[in-house]
């Protein structure tokens, strides 16, 4: 760790100092768009296909539906974003959760905070009586793939034309 970088590992900051705040579209849409744009870059390595106006519209529509969008905060600073839905019905009629986005600012990656976000959403799915969870990630994003595999997710089928890999987790 860089000596000028504060120790922001989970052990040092303590879970109690982290909080999840429901996205306030009026006040935090710009921040949500920044996170979404960076996540696109991290997933695909370019901005080809990214549209800020379509992303903004999706976020507004998602908040009006049953999609949960949270900002993760540390001492009042927004450091990440989590988007999920806990009422998806699978092709076999089972209730499942779907994760649209796990995102952390660069300085917060690799310090255990992503695991806290993951555990938070899995707990939400369990409380909603979901039997499983789903997400898609961009093939080639080895960091995401390894994280999901280490948390019990498994690949379903092969990557689609848009190079997205479906993963599932049984709950």
pLDDT of residue 53: 96
User: Would you say 96 and 132 are in contact if contact means Cβ atoms under 8 Å apart?
Assistant: yes
Burial of 147 per CB tally in 10 Å (0-12, 13-18, 19+): middle
CATH superfamily of 16-170: Gcn5-related N-acetyltransferase (GNAT) (3.40.630.30)
Rg (CA), the chain: 16
* Distance spanning both ends of the chain, measured CA to CA: 35
More confident residue, 55 or 91: 55
Tokens 């034309």, residue located: 161
User: Would you say 58 and 40 are in contact if contact means Cβ atoms under 8 Å apart?
Assistant: no
More confident residue, 4 or 107: 107
User: Would you say 57 and 63 are in contact if contact means Cβ atoms under 8 Å apart?
Assistant: no
**Domain residue ranges in the chain:** 16-170
Least confident of 42-56, 99-113, 157-171: 157-171
For residue 157, is pLDDT > 90? no
pLDDT tens sequence across 4-61: 333 444 444 455 578 899 998 999 999 999 999 999 998 888 899 899 999 999 999 9
pTM (2 d.p.): 0.87
Distance, CA of 89 to chain centre:
20
């Amino acid at each position: 760790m860089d000596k000028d970088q504060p120790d922001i590992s989970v052990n040092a900051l303590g879970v109690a100092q982290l909080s999840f705040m429901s996205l306030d579209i009026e006040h935090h849409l710009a921040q949500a768009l920044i996170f979404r744009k960076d996540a696109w870059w991290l997933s695909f390595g370019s901005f080809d296909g990214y549209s800020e106006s379509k992303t903004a519209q999706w976020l507004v529509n998602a908040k009006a539906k049953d999609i949960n969008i949270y900002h993760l905060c540390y001492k009042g600073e927004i450091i990440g974003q989590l988007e999920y839905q806990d009422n998806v019905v699978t092709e076999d009629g089972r209730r499942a959760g779907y994760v649209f986005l796990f995102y952390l600012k660069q300085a917060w990656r690799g310090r255990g905070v992503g695991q806290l976000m993951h555990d938070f959403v899995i707990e939400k799915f369990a409380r909603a009586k979901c039997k499983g969870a789903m997400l898609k990630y961009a093939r080639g994003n080895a960091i995401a793939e390894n994280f999901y595999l280490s948390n019990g997710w498994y690949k379903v089928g092969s990557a689609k034309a848009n190079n997205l890999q479906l993963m599932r987790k049984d709950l």
